[in-house]
A and B are shown apart, each in its own frame.
Chain A
Amino acid sequence: MPAFTPPEVQLSGIAPELVLCITAFVVLLADAALGEFAERWHLPVLSTAGLLVAIGLAAANWDKSELQLSGTIALDGFAVFVKVALAIFAVATVWSGRDVLRRVGLEEGEFYGLVLFVTAGMMLMASAADLIVTFLALETFSIGLYVLVGFRLHSLRSQESALKYFLLGAFSSAFFLFGIALAYGAAGTTNLYGTTGPGGQDGIVTFLTSTPAGELGFLALASGLLIVGLGFKIAAVPFHMWTPDAYQGAPSPITGFMAAASKLAGFAALIRLFDAILFPLRGEWRPLVIAIAIATMAVGSIVAIVQDDVKRLLAYSSIAHAGFILVAIVAASDAGVASALFYLVTYGATTLGAFAVVSVLGGRDEARVRLSDYRGLFYERPLLAGALTLFLLSLAGVPITSGFVAKLLVFGAAIEEGYWWLVVIGVLASAVAVFFYLRVMVVMYMQERETDEVVAPGAGGPSYAVIGLAALATVWFGLLWGPLADLTERATFFFQAF
């Protein structure tokens, strides 16, 4: 009788996610157990510690290139890079969120706990090697975000935006699920790479290489639906309807988190699926992605012009940026993936900084987020206005900021693949976008305050630290971006090495 051999369970691939989930529970328990005592620094410090451990565990896998947990988890440089970036975004969110929570008097423990759970889900997106796991990750982080968007309990707008985000998000999940079903119907598996050894099965990759091109129709259809599902998460047009409302209603640090991390997680899954797995099908999905990219760049840039609410304005800006990143997806090359990662990371840092400024200026209850509230800001808070200017210039893609380099790399990757005309459309869209970034600057520098009301200080050190670090990153990666660009190139290097 053969001895029972327990299946080998390797957890190193999802160790960061596990650590974050455990930390989240600890934070929730500590919040309950410590009560009043937990008021001060314990919870954010605890959360940060968990995130740092997760970063360490993720980074330890940098050189690996393997599948784990029956081929459902991919461990490679790409996943590691995304996970580390996500955790860094989460740290920034925890600290700039803390100021808002204390100002408004919201529950702290739940906030940090949710941020940690959401981050864990996002991380899983990056290394999911099975469509079912991707879906699982997608739902994990989406549900957490629905709650976080509605976190300002007493605000009707926050409630409304959470409901809207939830309904449309559920809708998109259904599309994604349907896409998975079609992919399963076509390929007979939801696994991307397949597994080897006893009980091993083929993955979609194997299916693609072994099937004649004419018989891939269902998979092409599935890829279309998967784009729809992920398009919601990255806020691509025409799946962007929720974005302005959700961005406006959510607490500003969460808005920044959504713009930075949610986009990164969505794009991570998109990149793995399309630029790696479905690469042979690029002839089918490329026209669709091109159309979405053009629509996203155009709508995001044009509609932003008429916004009077800074958070809505930045929401449309984030839509436009999704369009620019999609240009890199269209390139479907290593350079394209690397540039998309560079873009996502630098955009994330910049937008987190921008929303941290918005959060600080919003005052209690985020009442002051209209453009007119920013009148003459430069003369009262020159440093904050200066930081916001820097972030806006970076979003506009003006040199010496990281936003310029990111656009340069993305557009360069597209030109390399012969899509110079798409790049021309892209630069024209970004020229339109310049207009609304300038509008904010006009208000801050060139108009006088109408009221004597003093801008509420409304923030403590952590928010300023986040703003300062984001500003530093924005300039640093604008001037000395070589190392980060190398890192993103290495993050694609292990990518298809299965």
Chain B
Amino acid sequence: MSLLDITIFAPLIGAVALAIIPKGRDDLVRWGALVVSTVVFLLSVAVLLDFETGEAGFQLGSDLAWIPDWGIGYITAIDGVSLWMVMLTTFLMPLGVLASWSITKRVKPYFVFLLALETGMLGVFCALDLFLFYLFWEVTLVPMYFLIGMWGYERRIYAAMKFFIFTIVGSLLMLVSILFLYFGIGGEPTFDYRELLGTPLSLEMQRLLFLGFFASFAVKIPLVPVHTWLPDAHTEAPTAGSVLLAAVLLKMGAYGLIRFAIPLFPDAARELVPLVLVLAVIGIVYGALVALMQKDLKRLIAYSSVAHLGFVVLGIFVGTVEGMSGGILQMVNHGLSTGALFMLVGALYDRRHTRAIADFGGIASVAPWFAGVFLFVALSSLGLPALNGFVGEFLILLGTFFAYRWWVVPAAFGVVLAAIYLLWAYQRVFHGEITNEANRSIGDLVPREAVMLAPVLVLIAVIGVYPKPFLDRITPSAEKVIAQLESTVIPGSSGLAQAGD
């Protein structure tokens, strides 16, 4: 058991500990969850310090026999891609707990599910055994389903169902691909990802298997046209649920593409690049256009996620190191800024019990700090230079320009649209006269909210001004993935098994 494994399972242990706290001790549960999630974050910081910069391969973690007769091991490790996903998860979790302070009904199960979810998410990013990965992948579904369904808003049951069904259809298709890799190609069967890399597969086979994985990841990311679960789930989920959905769960899809779909089936991935790029760009433009039309603030942010994740996928698939690094960094950036936006909207909802843009107006005059923070985060989200979103989007566009010059045009159009929908929403909510008397009593940020938002704002600025420490750790792994994307595993062709190691 390495430090990484302790980090993965610490939240689950914390969840069990919370579960046995007797009824009626809600404050103890809240503080307990905060302590557990903070400890997990500190553990992950220790992991970060252990991480060797400049190393492209996997490090830390452990490799234990689990069900050896079936080639299943408990294998965990991280590289530059998963490192930041782990950090993002552990970083946002205490903030999610703080954002959930306003939960007053069924407090205990809420935090138990929240912490169990964290173990699932961390496991997804660290598992290097396909069986283990699939296990964590599916296990994240259950707590999120309950979080949406039990603590969400009016249409929560519909949203929870839709979320679960969409995801599981994709997941099951991925399962068929995983099973095929294990049972269907002969040789010594194994679920060990490191051994499966470079498995010779014909192009037709790769295509089918890639599509199986892609189905699952495309739903999760989500790509148009399988994105329709997202606006419902994000809108109906409680604040912390929306934060984690947007910041972490969506990244699981993009991460899966980088970790599994591309390295295992590079020829199919190369062949399908045009299709994926089209879907990504449609996502960017469509997501932005639909966001523009939204009357519900939370729904607006949800659709902005569709657009942002389109950018991420664009970066991953253009086949340049710049694009890949930018895509990975943008996954972190989107987690921070969209996470913060959901926290802010959640805080607004706590005050006014509405999310409709039309119900607000002139809030800046009664809650100036609130408005300032919101503007700051919105600017980060729309890619203002010197803030984090710019770095990621710039790298993605640069990488795209190198490889597919003209695709930059619609993608850049998406950036413009992002500025429009975010600033317009900001204007309608925070500027102008107060038209609704109820808004006069809206209070400014309370200390709890300030504590919850401050770390995000700091990171947004740090990445925007000095992204080097982040990119230094990402780039080697991004280069490796690009090398994998350019390799081939078709039997008989030259360059076979380049994808290994």
Residue in B141, B142, B160, B172 whose beta carbon sits within 8 Å of that of A427 in the complex: B172
Please tell me if the beta carbons of A408 and B179 are within 8 angstroms of each other in the complex: yes
Residue in A400, A423, A428, A445 whose beta carbon sits within 8 Å of that of B169 in the complex: A428
The smallest beta-carbon distance between A120 and chain B, in angstroms, is 34
Does A399 interact with chain B (Cβ within 8 Å)? yes
Of chain A, the residue at the smallest CB distance from B173 is: A427
Please tell me if the beta carbons of B179 and A399 are within 8 angstroms of each other in the complex: no
Q: Which positions 122-144 of chain B face chain A at CB distance < 8 Å?
A: 134-135, 138-139, 141-142
With A431-B168, A434-B165, A446-B149 as contacts: A423 and B135 at CB distance below 8 Å: no
Interface size on A (CB < 8 Å)?
Answer: 32
Q: Mark A415-435, 1 if CB is under 8 A from B, else 0.
A: 110001001100110110011
Please tell me if the beta carbons of B149 and A482 are within 8 angstroms of each other in the complex: no
The residues of B that contact A427 with a CB separation of less than 8 Å are: 172-173, 175-176
* Separation of A416 and B182 alpha carbons in the complex (Å): 9
Residue in B70, B146, B173, B179 whose beta carbon sits within 8 Å of that of A485 in the complex: B70
Please tell me if the beta carbons of A482 and B70 are within 8 angstroms of each other in the complex: yes
Q: Which positions 189-228 of chain A face chain B at CB distance < 8 Å?
A: none
Q: Which positions 151-208 of chain A face chain B at CB distance < 8 Å?
A: none
The smallest beta-carbon distance between B488 and chain A, in angstroms, is 23
- For the residues of A in contact with B, the DSSP-based class is helix
The residues of A that contact B139 with a CB separation of less than 8 Å are: 398-400
Does B424 interact with chain A (Cβ within 8 Å)? no
Of chain B, the residue at the smallest CB distance from A378 is: B109
The residues of A that contact B168 with a CB separation of less than 8 Å are: 431, 434
Does A365 interact with chain B (Cβ within 8 Å)? no
The residues of A that contact B157 with a CB separation of less than 8 Å are: 442, 446
Does A25 interact with chain B (Cβ within 8 Å)? no
The residues of B that contact A369 with a CB separation of less than 8 Å are: none
Please tell me if the beta carbons of A482 and B150 are within 8 angstroms of each other in the complex: no
Please tell me if the beta carbons of A431 and B169 are within 8 angstroms of each other in the complex: yes
Q: Mark A463-490, 1 if CB is under 8 A from B, else 0.
A: 0000000000000000011100110000
Please tell me if the beta carbons of B183 and A412 are within 8 angstroms of each other in the complex: yes
The smallest beta-carbon distance between A428 and chain B, in angstroms, is 7
Does A393 interact with chain B (Cβ within 8 Å)? yes
* Separation of A415 and B175 alpha carbons in the complex (Å): 12
Please tell me if the beta carbons of B160 and A446 are within 8 angstroms of each other in the complex: yes
The residues of A that contact B135 with a CB separation of less than 8 Å are: 399-400, 404
Please tell me if the beta carbons of B156 and A412 are within 8 angstroms of each other in the complex: no
Please tell me if the beta carbons of A411 and B179 are within 8 angstroms of each other in the complex: yes
Does B187 interact with chain A (Cβ within 8 Å)? no
Does B69 interact with chain A (Cβ within 8 Å)? yes
30 contacts between A and B (CB under 8 A): A398-B139, A399-B134, A399-B135, A400-B139, A408-B179, A411-B179, A412-B182, A415-B183, A415-B184, A416-B184, A424-B176, A427-B176, A428-B169, A428-B172, A431-B172, A434-B164, A435-B161, A435-B165, A441-B149, A442-B149, A442-B157, A442-B160, A442-B161, A445-B150, A446-B150, A446-B160, A480-B67, A481-B67, A482-B68, A482-B70
Apart from A399-B139, A420-B180: 12 A-B pairs, beta carbons within 8 A: A398-B138, A411-B179, A415-B179, A416-B183, A424-B173, A435-B161, A438-B145, A445-B149, A445-B150, A446-B150, A485-B69, A485-B70
